[in-house]
């Protein structure tokens, strides 16, 4: 992709360079990241504590809260990747702690967003992990991914038909989804599951158009920085019992009015990717070094 500003000066929209903002900018960010509360939580765990994040809203079923959004970027060759926060080391309560945290759209984005359901123990969530940030294909759910090899990097061109794509579930026109893994390409590491979606609704949310006119300014500001070319993504771990839901993925979702949303077939939790919300939870600590 061309290395140019997503929103030219004449558009009047806020300019943001992803991956450049470091720890110096975090002083002006509201409390809520890994440094907020309980950075060192015990002798055997680090990180965690009360964490504020943006996610896709849970709208039905037993899930207690939203699934966290993963900010995305389109690399120069068209690869779709998740943004991993900048890392730094701080001494807290006598311990050297590596922190992954940065500003994204005026919000403190950190590895703590993903520290639940056991994911806090996965190698790819370690702030200093040497991991590839590309989203990599996990075939099996969507027919269109059937020709992919597991681990192939997702590219923007594979979503060219996103405005008209449909399957036998729900209506067409809501976007084209893919199942993927993130920061999990090495052998013998647990897979961090991610859902990627390219949808015309994304730019409508950013612009506050139509049904999205009531989205708050901070939600739209975050989405502007966390999405690109109508692509968004989220950690695909249900906040109920840690199952793996899917957008327009499972027959029977229409019985729960979820045919055009994210449906977890294990216990019928429903999430709406077009209803981004700011939430707070207590992130679990990572294993100690």
Q: Is residue 5 part of a domain?
A: no
Which tokens belong to 203? 């730019």
Length in residues, the chain: 289
Q: Measuring CA to CA, how many Å separate 189 from each of 119, 124, 126?
A: 11, 8, 12
The domain in which residue 43 lies consists of 18-287
At 275, phi and psi to the nearest 5?
Answer: -135, 70
Tell me, what's the pLDDT at 223?
98
Q: Is residue 71 part of a domain?
A: yes
Spatial strand order of the sheet with 107-110 comes to 87-92, 95-104, 107-110
pTM of the model: 0.84
Q: Is residue 117 part of a domain?
A: yes
CA angle 215, 218, 219 (to 5 degrees): 50
Q: Is residue 12 part of a domain?
A: no
CA–CA distance, 2 with 232 (Å, rounded to integer): 19
Tell me, what's the pLDDT at 188?
85
Q: Are 135 and 198 in contact (CB under 8 A)?
A: no
pLDDT in tens, the chain (289 residues): 444 333 333 333 333 334 333 333 333 333 333 333 333 333 345 678 999 999 999 999 999 999 999 999 999 999 999 999 999 998 878 888 889 999 999 999 999 999 999 999 999 999 989 999 999 999 999 999 999 999 999 999 999 999 999 999 999 999 999 999 999 988 889 999 999 999 999 999 999 999 999 999 999 999 999 999 999 999 999 999 999 999 999 999 999 999 999 999 899 999 999 999 999 999 999 886 4
Q: What is the 3-state secondary structure (H, E, C) of the chain?
A: CCCCCCCCHHHCCCCCCCCCCCHHHHHHCCCCCCCCCCCEEECCEECCEEEEEEEEEEEECCCCCCEEECCEEECCCCEEEECCCCEEEEEECCEEEEEEEEEECCEEEEHHHHCCCCHHHCHHHCCCCCCCCEEEECCCCCHHHCCCCCCCECEHHHHCCCCCCCCCCCCCCCCEEEEEEECCCCCCCCCEEEEEEECHHHHHHHHCCHHHCCCCHHHHHHHHHHCECCEEEEECCCCCCCCCCEECCCCCHHHHCCCCCEEECCCCEEEEEEEEEEEEEEECCEECC
Q: Is residue 1 part of a domain?
A: no
In the chain, the number of structural domains is 1
Which tokens belong to 113? 């967003």
């Amino acid at each position: 992709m061309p290395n140019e500003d997503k929103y030219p000066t004449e558009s009047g929209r806020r300019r943001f360079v992803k991956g450049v903002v470091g720890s110096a900018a975090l002083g002006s960010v509201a409390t809520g990241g890994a440094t907020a509360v309980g950075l060192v939580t015990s002798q055997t765990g680090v990180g965690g504590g009360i964490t504020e994040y943006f996610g896709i809203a849970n709208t039905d079923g037993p899930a207690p809260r939203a699934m966290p959004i993963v900010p995305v970027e389109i690399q120069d060759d068209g690869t779709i990747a998740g943004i991993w926060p900048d890392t730094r080391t701080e001494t807290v309560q006598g311990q050297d702690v590596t922190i992954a945290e940065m500003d994204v759209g005026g919000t403190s984005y950190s590895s703590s967003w993903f520290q639940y359901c056991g994911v806090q123990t996965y190698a790819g969530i370690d702030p200093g992990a040497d991991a590839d940030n590309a989203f990599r294909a996990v075939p099996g759910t969507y027919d269109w991914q059937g020709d992919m090899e597991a681990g192939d990097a997702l590219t923007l061109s594979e979503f060219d038909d996103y405005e008209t794509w449909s399957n036998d579930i729900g209506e067409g026109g809501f976007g084209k989804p893919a199942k993927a893994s993130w920061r999990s390409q090495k052998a013998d590491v647990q897979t961090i599951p991610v859902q990627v979606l390219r949808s015309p609704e994304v730019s409508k949310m950013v612009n506050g158009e139509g049904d999205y006119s009531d989205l708050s300014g901070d939600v739209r500001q975050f989405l502007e920085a966390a999405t690109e070319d109508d692509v968004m993504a989220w950690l695909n771990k249900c906040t109920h019992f840690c199952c793996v839901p899917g957008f327009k993925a499972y027959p029977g979702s229409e019985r729960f009015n979820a045919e055009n949303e994210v449906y977890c077939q294990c216990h019928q939790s429903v999430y709406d990717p077009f209803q981004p919300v700011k939430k707070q939870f207590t992130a679990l600590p990572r294993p100690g070094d």
